[in-house]
Structure 1
Amino acid sequence: MKIQLAKTFSKEFDKTTKDSDIEELEIKLQSSLEKNDYGHSVVDYLIGIICVHPNFDPFFKPKRPSYVENKNIKLEGFDVNIYKTFSLDIKLNFEDFFKSDKENGLKMVANEIITTIRDLKYPAKIKDFDREQFFHDLNCFFEQENLI
């Protein structure tokens, strides 16, 4: 299974290392979980991370978790196939995350991901996905990285 962290940050973050910090976390996370088998229902697990200036909050609300089993779409003239993709969004507090150092920023990300996934109700279409093992492995990864 492939896991991705998709960032939506406001312009203020252009002068920080937050973007590269999360990319680094994503690479480690992918490396840690890519060989694990959680079933056949989810091939891509996408976690959207939203952190925008409070003025833009109304425009960047976390979306409900969604699952796409198989869908073809056109993007900028290209055909793209979305296959067995589950996605969810988390939202971080702008002031806290913006002011945090690398370690504390990543701890905020890890804690929000764990809290969201712990309480998550997956869509009924997802039949073959070992939720408990995925959560356990995710939790172990964050513990090993000293983020929770």
Structure 2
Amino acid sequence: MEWLMSVSVAVIAVAFVLFVIYSISIFISIKKTMVNIYATVEDLKGEMEGVKKETEQLLHKTNRLADDIQHKSNSLNSVFDAAEDLGQTFQHVNQSVKKVSYAVSKQADEQSEQVAQAVKWGNVILEFWSKWQAKKAEKAAKAESTVTSRGE
């Protein structure tokens, strides 16, 4: 039975040696993985620093753009206020024109008969004046023809 004990101890020793060798290869593999992870984290840290700087620059540009837009918006407010005032002025002018037009129309309606009479009298006067001019021209033509017929 002694030999069984020796064989068992030898098997245990071989198993322990295999376990140690296997564990060492695992630890070496873990060390390589950790070195790769460290290198990746360092690269990522550098890239994150670059992204951080770009993000800060973008944030500053965005803030400047927002300030510029705010300034221009405030400038446009005065333009819109002026346009609103102009619209109100046109509205007042339009109302004034309507009032004047209504007053003129009302007065024209009230005085339309007087205007019609004035137009009739104007036509009569023009007719008399035309007839007077025609008679005057006729007398002048007769006088001229009399003078020319005597001088012959």
TM-score by length of 1: 0.19
- 1 or 2, which has the higher helix percentage? 2
TM-score by length of 2: 0.18
- Greater relative CO, 1 or 2 (CA 8 Å, sep 6+): 1
Larger Rg belongs to: 2
- 1 or 2, which has the higher strand percentage? 1
